[in-house]
Amino acid sequence: MKKFFVLIATIISFLSLNSPVASAVNVPQSFTFTGSGYGHGVGLSQIGAKGQALEGKSATDILKYYFPGADVVPVNDSQTIRVNIGHQLNSVSFIQSPNGSFQISSDSLTTTAIDTSSVVSFQISGKTINASAKGLSGTINQLGTSGMWNLAWGTGAEYVMEKFEGNTVKLNHGFISLRAVSVKGIGYRIEVTNSINLHDEYLWGISEVPSSWPEAALESQIIASRTYALSRMGVIRKDCDCNVFNTKYDQNFLGYLKEVEPKYGSIWKSAVTSTDVGSDQGLAITFQGQPISVYFFSSSGGITQRAIDVWGTDIPYLSSVPDPWSLDQKLNPKYFKWKRVVDQATMAQAFGLPDIYKYVIGKRTATGSVLTITGYSTTGIRKSLSVSAFKVAVKLPSSWFNIPSAVQVPDTSTTN
C-alpha cells in the first residue's frame, strides 16, 4: 500500500510539472520595452552625421569615420537609373502641369501627343495594359492596349502628377514606363518606373534626411545615396521592372516635391551639386577601388553594429564605431530613449502562440543589441525569434532594448 501511494504522488508530481501553467501565472495584458535608436544600426548613422557636421567635420570625415578603411573618391555616375514609383497596381493615372502635354507611345502605337486638359489612365487588362485619355469635356479617348507604355513630357511641361491608390507622386525629369508584370498567385499587375539620370536628377529627389540639416550632413547622405544607387545598377529586377524602389526598402525618393520644398529645396539641390566632380562624375564611397555596399540608418544605441552581428557576413568597412550623438537628447529627441507598450494580442501573434506570459532575451551583440528573444506560453510551449522578425512584428524602433547595463564601447581610434 505504501508503494501505491508513492506511485500516485509521483504521477501527480509529473503531471504538475508538465501541464500548462495557466493556473500558476497571470497572463500580462501588455509588455513594456525601453530602448534607444532607430534602424538596423549598420553603417552611416544619420543623427551621428548631423552631430559631427555641427562639430565642423566634413562629409569625407564623417563617411570615413562610419566606414573605416573606405575612401571617398570620384566615380562615373552618368548612368540612367530606373526608379519604381508604382508597384503591383491595378490602375494608375497621370495629370500634366498647366500648359504642358504628354507624349505617349507603346509597342503598337507610335508617339502621339495628348493635350494638357487630359487625364491619362492605365488599367490592367489580362496580360496587357489598357490606356485612355479623358478631356475636360468628359470624352474618353481609348488609346489602345499594350504590354508596355512610355509616357514622356511634352512641350511646356513642368511636372507630371502620378495618382494611384490614394498616393500622389510629382515628377519632372526623364520619362515614365508602364509594364504588365506577372505576380505569382495574383496575376498581372502594372509596374511604373521613372527613368532618370543618376548623376543629378535621381539625387535631387532623394528624401532620406531633412534638407535643413548642416551642409556636411547633407553631403554625406548624398554621397552614401549615390553609392547605394551605383551598387544597384546593371540589373533590371523583374519584380519591379526597376533598379530601385522609391521607398525605404531601397531609398526614399520623393521626386519633384523634394526639389520644390519651400525654403530648403534649393539647399538640397546645391548640396547635390557640391558632391559633383564634373558633368559625369560624383563622389562615392569605395573600398579597394570599388563602390561599397553602403548602409545607413537613423540612430543607434550609442555604438554602430558590425555587419557580421546583424546579417552574419563579415564586411571590413562595416565594423562597429562609437556613436554618442545618437544618445544626445537635443540631436535625437524622439529616439535617444524610447518606450513602447505591446499588448498581449500583438505579442502572442508575433510568436505564433495562444498567449505569452513571459519572454526571455537570448543572445546580444557586443554593442548590447538583441539577437534573439524567446516567448513562453501558458500552454507550455515556447518559441524563439530573431530580433529582426520580432521587432518588425511588434513595431520596435531598434534592436537596442531592455539593455541591462552600460555597453563597453571599443577603442577604434587607431582605425580612424
Please give the pLDDT value at position 117. 66
Report the DSSP pairing between strands 80-89 and 244-245. parallel
The 3-state secondary structure of the chain reads CHHHHHHHHHHHHHHHHHCCCCCCCCCCCEEEEEECCEECCECEEHHHHHHHHHCCCCHHHHHHHHCCCCEEEEEECCCEEEEEEEEEECEEEEEECCCCCEEEEECCCCCEEECCCCEEEEEEECCEEEEEEECCCCCEEEEEEECEEEEEECCCCCCEEEEECCEEEEECCCEEEEEEEEECCCEEEEEEEEEEEHHHHHHHCECCCCCCCCHHHHHHHHHHHHHHHHHCCCCCECCCCECEECCCCCCCECEHHHHCCCCCHHHHHHHHHHCECCCCEEEEEEECCEECCCCEECECCCECECHHHHHCCCCCCCCCCECHHHHCCCCCCCCCCEEEEEEHHHHHHHHCCCCCCEEEECCECCCCCECEEEEECCCCCEEEEEHHHHHHHHCCCECCECCCCCCCCCCCHHHC
Which residues of the chain register pLDDT less than 70? 1-24, 111, 113, 115-117, 155-156, 405-416
> 315: which 3 cell numbers?
564586411
Please give the pLDDT value at position 339. 96
Please give the pLDDT value at position 416. 36
Please give the pLDDT value at position 405. 59
Please give the pLDDT value at position 410. 41
Delimit the domains of the chain by residue range. Answer: 22-43+295-416, 80-274
